[in-house]
Structures are given as C-alpha cells and as structure tokens.
Amino acid sequence: MENLTLNIGLTVFACFVFFIIYDLAKKSKAGKFGTLILFLTLGLGLFAFLIKEVIVHLMEKS
C-alpha cells in the first residue's frame, strides 16, 4: 500500500513541479526559447531525482 502511495505522491509532485515551471515561464514572459530552457534546466533536476528512485528500486529488487 505504501509503495502505491509513494508512486502516486511522486507523480503528483512531478506534475506540480512542471506546473510551477510553466507558471514561472508564463509570468516572466520568457517566450518559447526561454520556456524551453526553463523546462530543460529545472526539469532535468526533477528527471534526475526520478531516475535515481527507479535505479534504487531496481537495485533493491536484484
């Protein structure tokens, strides 16, 4: 049960972070290129965190 809750929580967290990045780009009037840069840089940190969780999960299984 806690594994399912953790997966749902991380998914909601990831969606919320992407919403924050989108809102930041919109409020700062970053334009298309600026929005792309924001998503690449800030989204990369979130992506690295999620990949770390997947790798830890795979290592614990084996």
Per residue in 47-56, pLDDT (tens digit) is 888 888 889 9
Q: How many domains does the chain have?
A: 1
Would you call 62 helix, strand, or coil by DSSP? coil
Q: Is the pLDDT of residue 10 over 90?
A: no
- Full domain range(s) for residue 46: 2-61
Angle, nearest 10°, between helix axes 2-27 and 31-61? 170
pLDDT exceeds cutoff 90 at 16: yes
Instruction: Write out the two tokens for 39.
Output: 């998503």
- Chain centroid to Cα 18, Å, comes to 6
How confident is the model over 30-57, as a mean pLDDT? 88
pLDDT for residue 57 is more than 90: no
